[in-house]
Amino acid sequence: MEKNYITLHADFPAAVAEFHREFEVPIEYTPLRIELLTEENEELARANNKTEIADAICDIIYVAAGTIVALGEHTWKASYSISTDEPMDIKWAVLYISHCIGQVERQNIVSDKIVYCNQIIATCVRLAHTYDIPIMTNFRNVHSNNMAKKWSDDQVHALPADCTYSLKSTATGWIVKSPAGKVLKPPGHPKPNLLTTNMDKPV
């Protein structure tokens, strides 16, 4: 179990960088990242079952990893340590992640912002461990789901004429963003396939 958690971080930067390239997300730190982290943490606070917890955890990790990339960091932590003795309370996790988000916003030194982003990721990893959620498998499924957010011609043409979204046609579909720059899901976009039993555990 712990071996998987020590190595899973390597998937984060590669996945986020691929998403940034595919959807032309600017590699820059903006207030939108704080808004997204806050939004996903609120989802975690409202989670009522393991599937919702798994979804929120993966989304938080995705945004936190993207924030680290946006801050210009390319050297990642060797591991995210977890405690196998003390389960993590979800309410405490939400409060601590909220504290870290505030620090990411307030700190002026980039390296300090990155420290708190890593603390957010570490907290999510520990919470997944507590609930026996297969974080690696789910993260990859969320990434695959994110990579499928291109819109079809018909979906774009169905948008109202006064739509304020940013639209860009690519060879594989349309990239649609909110005025703030958030990549938007097309109508009917399916939820990611999330597992709630830890298939990452070695047998």
| 68-93: pLDDT as tens digits | 888 887 555 545 555 556 788 999 99
C-alpha–C-alpha distance, residues 172 and 38, integer Å: 31
Query: 163 and 89: one domain?
Result: no
Total number of domains constituting the chain:
2
Query: 50 and 89: one domain?
Result: yes
C-alpha–C-alpha distance, residues 82 and 62, integer Å: 19
Query: 95 and 144: one domain?
Result: yes
Query: 142 and 169: one domain?
Result: no
Q: What is the pLDDT of residue 188?
A: 95
Question: For residues 108-132, b (16+ Cβ closer than 10 Å) or e, as one string?
Answer: eeeeebbebbbbbbbbbbbbbbbbe
Query: 167 and 89: one domain?
Result: no
Domain for residue 22, yes or no?
yes
Query: 64 and 137: one domain?
Result: yes
Segments forming the whole domain that contains residue 166:
149-186
Domain for residue 163, yes or no?
yes
Domain for residue 59, yes or no?
yes
Side-chain-side CA neighbours of residue 160 (13 Å): 3
* Backbone φ and ψ of 180, nearest 5°: -80, -10
pLDDT at residue 12 greater than cutoff 70: yes
Query: 23 and 96: one domain?
Result: yes
Query: 93 and 156: one domain?
Result: no
Query: 40 and 129: one domain?
Result: yes
- 11 vs 123 pLDDT, higher one: 123
172 sits in the region (left: phi over 0; alpha: psi -120 to 50; else beta) called alpha
Query: 127 and 158: one domain?
Result: no
Query: 23 and 121: one domain?
Result: yes
Domain for residue 97, yes or no?
yes
pTM over 0.85, yes/no: no
Q: What is the DSSP string of 87-105?
A: PPPHHHHHHHHHHHHHHHH
Query: 37 and 67: one domain?
Result: yes
**Mean pLDDT score, 104-120:** 92
Q: State whether residue 135 is helix, strand or coil.
A: helix
169-184 pLDDT, tens digit each: 999 999 999 998 999 9
